[in-house]
Amino acid sequence: MTAPLLDVSNLTIRFPTGTPVADLGFAVGEGETVAVVGESGSGKSLTALAIMRLLPRTARTTSGGIRFQGRDLLALPEPEMRRVRGRKIAMIFQEPMTSLNPVLTIGKQIAEVLRLHEGLSSEAARKRSIQLLDLVRVADPHLRVDDFPHRLSGGMRQRAMIAMAVACGPKLLIADEPTTALDVTIQAQVLDLLDRLRRELGMALVLITHDLGIVGQWADRVVVMYAGRGAEEADATRLLDDPLHPYTRGLLAASPRLDARLHYTAGPLREIPGSIASALGEPGCPFVPRCPMALPTCRTKPPPLEEIRPGRLIACPPTLALERADAAAVGR
């Protein structure tokens, strides 16, 4: 197997007040879409910021390496890292309303990226900005290029953000909840756009989301995070058809599905009891307080992410034991 484009291993992020991400590992191959799924507070966004090395100053990334194209990003000096950001790895943020500079026109903001990384003249950069706006399907790009952000709708602003992010043809695009602030109809358009750009520009995409509905349609692989740890990693379709980790199973059971003909009149949706806050200070598996199949051994130490079959990893020893027993039974 060739080395993946991005390889995050044993990533731990510490703040003076706690450790929101611990021992997280996942890999992203060239041109692949990997979804990182988890509820609020599970450490998804921090992981993204850690890859970009944009964490707040009080945060420390201890033990763990983030290798991108074979180079350890955590060891790069800051000026080198600045050349990676925006050019090799780009990021788009959740809130398109506030992520654009309110006093500069869209065109100026896109042109600034091109002037910095590609050294274009202001005239060439402006031309390229218009092309980029066209690429992200902004109508009348030659007019929009001179608009200030407040004159654009949320979807348009997110498109402008995407244009800035892909301006230098990055190999990896990290989208941190790119559609959370948008209408459902616009969500699909923006995700379609990201997927098309991924194919056309040959980028890999890390899609951070809490929306499992997005995962099945747009992601190749899924990493499920719970309380800062990897819970399960699998191909998107496999994960949705056959979730293994009790948390993933709980999540999917809690999502309404069209084919299940589930309607709120037919009965309440299942829920996972408790909240993610119960993971605080848990010495073992963070999911234990809410887990239906927790064993006493789960409370002693955090479970490692183990491969159950190729491309399928879970961090749940009881499930692992069950699955292995099943596999042995079938094999006999």
Q: Is 39 left (phi over 0), alpha (psi -120 to 50) or beta?
A: beta
Residue 15 in contact with another protein, rule: CB under 8 A? no
Kindly give the interhelix angle for 106-118 and 154-166, rounded to the nearest 10 degrees: 10
Q: Which stretch binds another protein (CB under 8 A): 16-24, 102-110, 227-235, 301-309?
A: 102-110
Residue ranges with strand state E in the chain:
6-15, 18-28, 33-37, 60-62, 65-68, 71-72, 89-92, 172-176, 204-209, 221-226, 229-235, 306-309, 312-314
Residue 101 in contact with another protein, rule: CB under 8 A? yes
User: HSE on the CB side for 222, CA within 13 Å?
Assistant: 32
Residue 205, amino acid: L
Map tokens 């050349």 to a residue. 83
**Residue among 157 and 221 whose Cβ is closer to another protein:** 157
Helices (H), 136-283: 141-144, 154-166, 184-201, 212-218, 236-241, 246-253
CB of 50 to another protein, least distance (A): 13
**Residue among 157 and 249 whose Cβ is closer to another protein:** 157
Residue 100 in contact with another protein, rule: CB under 8 A? yes
**Residue among 182 and 305 whose Cβ is closer to another protein:** 182
Binder to another protein among 16, 77, 102, 296 (CB under 8 A)?
A: 102
CB of 184 to another protein, least distance (A): 16
Could you tell me whether strands 306-309 and 312-314 are parallel, antiparallel, or unpaired per DSSP bridges?
antiparallel
DSSP state for residue 321 in the 8-state scheme: H
CA angle (146 as vertex; 145, 149 as ends), nearest 5: 85
CB of 66 to another protein, least distance (A): 15
Q: How far apart are CA 210 and CA 215, in angstroms?
A: 9
Residue 257 in contact with another protein, rule: CB under 8 A? no
CB of 91 to another protein, least distance (A): 4
Q: Which stretch binds another protein (CB under 8 A): 82-90, 194-202, 275-283, 286-294?
A: 82-90
Residue 98 in contact with another protein, rule: CB under 8 A? yes
Binder to another protein among 90, 175, 305, 314 (CB under 8 A)?
A: 90
Q: How far apart are CA 36 and CA 215, in angstroms?
A: 9
Residue 93 in contact with another protein, rule: CB under 8 A? yes
Q: How far apart are CA 128 and CA 210, in angstroms?
A: 34
| Binding pattern for the stretch 110-149 against another protein, x by CB under 8 A and - elsewhere | --xx--xx------------------------------xx
| Binding pattern for the stretch 41-60 against another protein, x by CB under 8 A and - elsewhere | -----------x-x--x---
Contacts to another protein by CB under 8 A: 52, 54, 57, 82-87, 90-91, 93, 95, 97-104, 112-113, 116-117, 148-150, 161, 164-165
